[in-house]
Every structure is written in structure tokens, then in C-alpha cells.
Structure 1
Amino acid sequence: MPSPALVPLPADVSPTDAAGLRLTGAATVSGDPGAVAALRELVRLRTGLDLQPAPDGGTIALTVTGTGAAESYRLDADAAGIRIDGADAAGLFYGVQTVGQLIVGDADGWTVPAVAIDDAPRFGYRGVMLDVARHFHPVETVTAYIDRAASLKFNHLHLHLSDDQGWRIELRSRPELAARASGSGVGGGPGGFYTREDYRAIVAHAAAHHMTVVPEIDMPGHTHAVGLAYPALAADPVRDAAPDGELPRAGEPYTGIGVGFSSLHPADAAVHAFATDVFTELADLTPGPYLHFGGDEALGTDRAEYAAFVARVSGLIAGLGKTPIAWHEAGAAADLAPGTIGQYWSFVTPAADAADHARAFVAKGGRLILSPADAVYLDMKPSDDFPLGLTWAGGATSVERAYRWEPTDVVDGVAEGDILGVEAPLWSETVRSLDDIDALAFPRIAAAAEAAWSPATGTREERTWESFRARVGTLGPLWTTLGIRFPGSPEIAWTS
């Protein structure tokens, strides 16, 4: 009996020859209220059927057991019904998402095949990043992306809230940021920012989908917009690190896509006070354990001053009771706060000093989030002629290239236990709408989900590119009913 086509691949799947469950309007669901609501909505979208809640003993029974590995679940399905036991509420939620993928339609209706699944994630951190600084995306777009990512068992949303082009969150301690630094975007886009209430709404929606929001305020580089609000904090743009074309001008909005030309004054006491205000308020707004302070591409910043600055900011964040995260360049600083997490964004084969900088986080008691740009940067073009995206990460990133990498093979000397997880960033230089997000993220986001959740490459017969391309092709009907406008990649044989 062939295994059902599921993405990400579960830890263990045992199909049987028994008859599956025929879903009809008479089916009922009982158990954990949150999981019941999630399943009813998913089944309604997928099939049009309205499962009726039952006090107990439903056709589908959903239970939190409180035992087993975090986020794990057990699913059993046959003609009599479906039972999902989650170790916790998150595990139960992920079992519900698996049911959504199991449902198949034919001329006679809807069926869930007979199967037993024992499933648990490989990595505890499974993230997606959305850049809302280069092009601003409203709350409803962010929450829609949360829905999409959660359906593939991602559990962290990294929001890139500031960059040269704009500042995107209201802070009472620094009101000029929203008032003066939020009104522009790439190409002269309209800009925008999240009020404190908007941000709390995003955090709440994420939590309801078992996702943790990781806010990022990038510094000391990527800070041209800060200078629009507080000119004294920002250094003049630097020519030798400037993008092609005209050098950005201090005090004027920047609408290009170049990087590396901006910096705060890293040794200035006023900048330290600014960082303290920003991260203190952000920590108060953010219930999750992480604050990301960027630290990347500060090409115009004195190296010694840069190292002292990122060390100071990591200590500031740790002192607020949060775990600091920084892009891997910050590993060059000798005095990072112990336990700081490094986010690696170089290539599958590391460039320059990237591997050394990444290993430095582990040496200081931290761990790594792996985001190799030539595999999981979702803003890369999937093909050379695709209308959206960029190609700086070694050319177009096909679905196959997005799949064919193994997290433990990227940085020599970094063991599986040193890896916190995998994150797929989506930078927004060319991304203006939810349709653009869908067009670039899908189906490659599913490859990142499998790298983050599933057993290691090659450890299972199905953990191969050939298997994945067949399995992901069966998700077309589900993604369509969920309103995801994914492109029909020619690498995938899609189920109609």
C-alpha cells in the first residue's frame, strides 16, 4: 500500500490495506476546542462539508495527551474514524494540518485513507521571514502568510521591521520613527507602519496558529530610515559601500535596493540610548523569547566599533530577559552575550568568513538558525525568466535546488544539536502584494518546511527530491482551495 503524499514528510507513516474514512455531512468532531475549530474550517474550505461538533465520541476525535515530545502527534485513520493525539496543543494542530493533506476527492466524494502516523519535528525552530520594510505589507497580508506557513508546520514568523527604506512599527518611546521614517518604500511605494495594536494583533494571530513572532530591528547598518527621524544618530552614507548609481542622501527617503551604505554612530551614547528605548519597548510588546537585532551588511561601519556595538546590543537584549538573534556577521564580535543565536545567510557552501562567524555563536554557547541564501531565500527567482525576484544568490533557485541541501552539511564542525532550526526568508524588493508572496514562496516554501520538520536527507526512502516533487504536486488542489495563488512550476507534476 503506497504511503499518502504528505509535506513535510512525517517521521513515520504506515498505510494499511483497510478501508479509509468516507467523509460526509454526517461526520462529527470532538475534543480540544481550538483543534476542533481549526479542523472544521480546514475541512469546510477543502470539501465544502460542515463537520458538526460532538460532546465526545465524534467520528474524528482530537485530544491533547500531555505526553510525548513537544509538537508531536499520533494519527490513526480507518473506516470507523480518525483519532489524533497531540503531545500538546501545537502537536494536535499539526495533526489537523496533516488531515487536510490526507483528504482526497473522487467522483463519489471525499475520503481519508487508512493510515497510522507517528510524527514529531526534527528542529524546534522552523521559521519564515517576511520583510515588511522594503515594501510594507498590511496586517491582513501578514496574517494570511501566517496561515500559509502554519499549514506547513512552521512555528516562527520573523518580521523584518526596519531597513534603509522604512521603519514599520510605532514606538511610544520614539514617536518620530513612525511619523517621519515610515512613509516610503522601494520604488516610491506608499510605506506604512504597524500601530502597537496592529502588532499585537499579528502576535495574537500567530499564537492562535502556534507561531511565535520574532521581531527584527536591524542595526547598526540598514538604518538610513532612522536618520529621517533622528538625524543625529545616523552617519552619512558611505561611498565605497554604496549601491550602484547615485549615493543616497542623508535626510532624504531612500527608495532603491542597494545595501551596506548606512550606519548609526556605533560609539555614540545617544545611539546606545536609542537602542535601549527601542528594544525595551519591543520586548514589552513581544511575548516570544527572541529579539533579532540584525547586525548584517554594516559595510561602512568601523570594524572595532561594530564589534563593540553588537556585543553591547546583545547584552542589552539578554538583560531584558530575551534571547538575542543576529545575522552571522555578528559572530565576529568577541563579547557577544552568551547564548546569542546566529542566523546564517551565506551559501550552502559558505562564502569568505561566514562559516567562522557562524561557528563563533556555537562556541559562545549559542546555536544557529540556517538560512542559506542559495537554498531557502524565497525572494530569489525560481527561474531566470520569472517576473519577480532577484538572482544574486548564485542565479535562479529552482525548486530542486531549494530541496537538495542538508542542514548538517552546511557549516563544518556544527553538529545537529548546535542547530536551532531552519528559516526561509522572503525579502521584499520585488514583493508588493500577497499574490507576489505566493508566487515566490510556493512551492519552494514546502522544501524549506521539509528541511525543518522531516528526518535528515537520505535517512528515509521518501526523503529525496524525486519523492518530494511527487508529493508536493498533490497539494495543488488543497492550496487552490486555501486561496494560495501558487505558480505551476514545470518541475512539479501537479495534481489537477
Structure 2
Amino acid sequence: MVLTTLPLVPLPAAVVVHEGRMPLTATARVHGSSPAAGILIDALARRGGPALSPADAGDDAPAPGDIVLRTDAEGSASEGYSLRIGDHVDIVGDDEAGLFYGVQTLLQLARQDDDGWSVPRTEITDAPRFPHRGVMLDVARHFFDVSEVKKFIDATSALKFNRLHLHLSDDQGWRVHIDSWPLLTELSSTTAASGDAGGFYTKDDYRDIVAYAASRHMILIPEIDLPGHTHAVGVAYPELVEAPVLNDALVTQAENLGQPLPVAGESYLGWGVGHSSVRIREERTYDFVRDVVRELAEMTPGPYIHIGGDESLGTSQEDFDHFAERATQIVVDAGKTPVAWHEMGAAAGIAEGTVGQYWGMKIPTGAHAAEAAHFVERGGALIMSAADAAYLDMKYTADFPLGLTWAAIIDVRTAYEWEPTAVLEVPDEAILGVEAPLWSETTRTIDDVEQLVFPRAAAEAEIAWSPKHAPERTWESFRGRLGTLAPLWKAEGVRFHPSADIPWSDR
């Protein structure tokens, strides 16, 4: 078998390239009843490609140039697929997700030259390395509406991401309606960071996002950040939160940025962290957590609810551990698997099976490694989001107009060249996968978000999907393949950052 570079991101597991190309013309029909057929037809049309048409029902004999989409329940790998291009295209998914990913691969292969549209004759067998391949969108610090989230889903699922983590609450705002605590959206959703306009999702909005993500084979993971990052909760229900705890770093940051300090009962417009906490020893707090988790669980078909747990700087360790143990159990009692940032691993009695999300550095500092490892000891697993590699809100360069620098300056190569199983001393099988977060302090529009996310999300997608030791899993190969995504992103209206170290294609 000969491996030859194809213009694909993420890199497939196995590829054989044959001579020649198969023309794609308007006479081609798409066979199969999968929703992936409509996605293929629509996406190719948006790029100005040939207007494919669905084959008639019952017409099982593909003509030259046709595209056949089908699933095979006997497939051995969940989300896997095979793609064969000879005189016609045959995509076989191990399941509907695999079929969808096979279509995304075909869309990347389709190219227009002087002779028209075509695809290379090739054979691909592919399946993901990790089951969790996630992106996180912070809609709390700045709010993004349903249509903008759907656009984000389209662009990231095309890279074979299968998890969408929505950060729904923070000090700056609460973004999803909860019937039993209606003041959260009435009073705590109206503003955003830097005094920008806020917003929130009705329950119908939220269900719409969940359903749309599912149509692109993404499981939605809602996050309510607790016990810290809860200043907005106190704007609506002051009896649930402690007074802000200020520290020298917070005061200095506010002075340097010209931002206000948090004031109890008033919307917080700054970026500082660590000053807020719910009242951990008040039983009413757990009524609140239970109600929120219950209502989210009722609207969320996926298995996970994320309950935060990071940067509770004004909370004693004893109180924090007490809250972590109770909150994770509340999620379990609601029938979901709890997910928490790695700090919650400090609590000895977190619910068994809780998944930890590691956001420390590639070389762990302080107690971060031990906290993360405790999730594994309690029967859970880990999602790797190393801040100095996978945080998409960091700047590309020191003078880039968007993003922050507290974790690192992350160019595309830095985003690509890290290994999630090499960060912590845990078994490889304890790593559930990779997630790339986008925190929204500096992103006031979805265009801003896209400039930070793309192209670096493609690097995280390859780390999460592709084999660790494939011959072409190299920076030089990746940068060349990445450059070929430009026409697709332009056709979809994705405002990516054209990093100078990538050879971008115009066709």
C-alpha cells in the first residue's frame, strides 16, 4: 500500500491513491436516503459545483460518476467509514455519523480545475482515534444567537468534531432559561463583557441548537459553571451568592484594562475571575443546583452535564470539596454523567465516573496533574484541553488584535505539535479525547470567533481524529493540507485567519 498526501484534514487512517480523477458533473446522481445526501448536494452547490440530484427511490445501480451513500451495521468502528472512488463514488459508513464524515472527506477532495470539477480515484478507510473530539463556545461573556451557533456547528462538524460544549453561564451573564428560576434570564442575561448587549436562549432555542447539532452528529454538552463564576446568579438571586472576594491580581487587572470591579447585585462587565461563589453551606443553593440540572437534563439527550469547578479562588478548599461532591452527585441523580474542570479532582468524594477536563499547561504546574488523575482513580476519564496548545482564544502573535496571552501565544504550529497522552501520568486509555475551548472575552461577533477558531481548530481536529504515528502526521504535511481548506471555508462564509505560515490555495 502506498500512502500519498491528499488534501484532507484531518488525515485519514489509511489511504491508497490510484491514477486519474473521476469527473463530477451535473448528470451525477446521489444514491441513498441518508440525510448526508442532502448535506452533500447543498454543500457542493454552495461552492459553485455541479448541481447533483438525488437518485430515484429503488434505483440501486450507479452509473459512472454517481455517488452511493450507505451504512453497514457490520462496520467494526463507531463513526468510521470507507470511501472508494473509481468510476463512481461509494461511501460506506459504519453508522450515520461515519457516513456524514465520509461525505465531509469527499467534499474536501472535490476540486475545480480548467477541465471542471473532479475527485481523485482513491480508497480510504478511516475511523477516529478518540471518541471525544470537542470544541467549546463561551456564550456567557459574549452572547451568540441560534443562527450563529448553527454556523459554528457547521464549520466544526465538517472537521469531524463530535462534541459541542456550550459555556452557558459565567460572571457576565446567564444564557439559558430555567422555568423554576426565571429571574436568571430576566435580570442576568441583559449584558455581556465590556458592556455589550447580552441575550439568552429560550427552551425552544436550546432544543433547536441541540437538534441541529445532532443532525451534524455532535453531542451538546451544556455547562453551568459552579461554584465560582457565579456573579450573574447573584444579580437575579442575591441570597444564593457570597459577596465578591477581591484580590490584588483582580484589582490590578481591572486597573490595567480600565474595567470595573464586581459589585454585588450589579451586572459585571469586566473579565476578572475568582471573585464569586455560591453560598456553599446553604441548603437553598442545592435546591437551585438540583432544579437547574434537572431542567437541563430534560432538554439534553446527550449523556453529559458540565458543572464547571474552575477558578474558585475565594472559596476555602473544604467548602469547595463539599460542593464538588454534592454537585457531581446531583448530576448523577439526574441520570447524566458529570463533567468538571480538573480542579474538582481535589475533592476525594466526587461522584464515581465523573469526567475531568484538564485545562492546565502541557507541562503541569502545582496540583493540576494530581487533581486530574483523581478523576481516573474514581472511575472517570479525562478530556484534554491544554491551555498553552488547545485554547483557541489565545493570540496567534503578540500583536494580533483579538485574544489573550495569559496561557501562551499560540500559532498554528504550536496548536498542532502537542500530544494529549503525554501531558499527564495516566494510562492512554483514560484519555477520552481532546477539546478546544474558545473563551469570548475579546470576541464581540461571530466573525471574531471564527478568526480565532480557524485555522487552529483544524490542528486540534487532526490531533483528535488521526492516528498518532501515521507517516504524514507531521507539521510540513499538515500545513500543506490545511492550505487546501481555504476554498471550502470561503464558500461557507467562514472568516478564518490566513496565517502567513500556511500556503493557502485559491481553488
Q: Distance in 2 between matches of 1:421 and 1:358?
A: 14
Deviations 1:202-227 (A, max 9, x none): 00100100001000000100000000
Q: Distance in 2 between matches of 1:113 and 1:207?
A: 30
Aligned to 1:328: 342
Deviations 1:102-144 (A, max 9, x none): 0111111011001100000000011000000000111111010
**What is the SS of the residue equivalent to 1:422?**
strand
Q: Distance in 2 between matches of 1:373 and 1:350?
A: 10
Contact (CA 8 Å) 2:138, 2:168: kept in 1 or not? yes
Contact (CA 8 Å) 1:32, 1:64: kept in 2 or not? no
Aligned to 2:318: 304
Q: Report whether the alignment pairs 1:470 with 2:447.
A: no
Q: Which amino acid aligns with 2:299?
A: L
- The TM-score normalised by the length of structure 2 is 0.95
**What is the SS of the residue equivalent to 1:218?**
strand
Q: Distance in 2 between matches of 1:276 and 1:115?
A: 53
Runs of 4+ in 1 over 4 A off after TM superposition: none
**What is the SS of the residue equivalent to 1:479?**
helix
Q: Distance in 1 between matches of 2:369 and 2:226?
A: 22
Q: Report whether the alignment pairs 1:8 with 2:16.
A: no
Q: Report whether the alignment pairs 1:408 with 2:421.
A: yes
Quick one: which of 418, 432, 439 aligns to 2:451? 439
**What is the SS of the residue equivalent to 1:487?**
coil
Aligned to 2:78: 70
Quick one: which of 372, 375, 382 aligns to 1:361? 375
For residue 455 of structure 1, report the CA deviation from its aligned partner. Answer: 0.7
**What is the SS of the residue equivalent to 1:365?**
coil
Q: Which amino acid aligns with 1:408?
A: T
Within-5 A mapping of 1:234-383: 234-240=241-247, 242-244=250-252, 245=254, 247-383=261-397
Within-5 A mapping of 1:138-287: 138-240=145-247, 242-244=250-252, 245=254, 247-287=261-301
Q: Distance in 2 between matches of 1:216 and 1:37?
A: 32
Q: Distance in 2 between matches of 1:479 and 1:102?
A: 14
Q: Report whether the alignment pairs 1:417 with 2:429.
A: yes
Q: Distance in 2 between matches of 1:392 and 1:463?
A: 29
Q: Can you give the 5+ residue segments of structure 2 that lack an aligned partner in the other structure? A: 255-259
Aligned to 2:110: 103
Contact (CA 8 Å) 1:11, 1:454: kept in 2 or not? yes
Q: Distance in 2 between matches of 1:196 and 1:478?
A: 33
342-351 or 478-487: bigger deviation: 478-487
For residue 57 of structure 1, report the CA deviation from its aligned partner. Answer: 2.9
**What is the SS of the residue equivalent to 1:85?**
strand
For residue 47 of structure 1, report the CA deviation from its aligned partner. Answer: 3.4
Q: Distance in 1 between matches of 2:110 and 2:172?
A: 44
220-229 or 48-57: bigger deviation: 48-57
For residue 243 of structure 1, report the CA deviation from its aligned partner. Answer: 4.5
Q: Distance in 1 between matches of 2:397 and 2:117?
A: 36
CA gap of 1:32–1:492, structure 2 versus 1, over 3 A, is same
State the number of aligned residues: 490
Contact (CA 8 Å) 1:11, 1:118: kept in 2 or not? yes
**What is the SS of the residue equivalent to 1:358?**
helix
CA gap of 1:146–1:480, structure 2 versus 1, over 3 A, is same
For residue 46 of structure 1, report the CA deviation from its aligned partner. Answer: 2.4
Q: Can you give the 5+ residue segments of structure 1 that lack an aligned partner in the other structure? A: none
Q: Distance in 1 between matches of 2:433 and 2:139?
A: 22
Q: Distance in 2 between matches of 1:224 and 1:11?
A: 46
CA gap of 1:65–1:351, structure 2 versus 1, over 3 A, is same
Q: Which amino acid aligns with 2:27?
A: A
Within-5 A mapping of 1:24-63: 24-54=25-55, 55=57, 56-58=60-62, 59-63=66-70
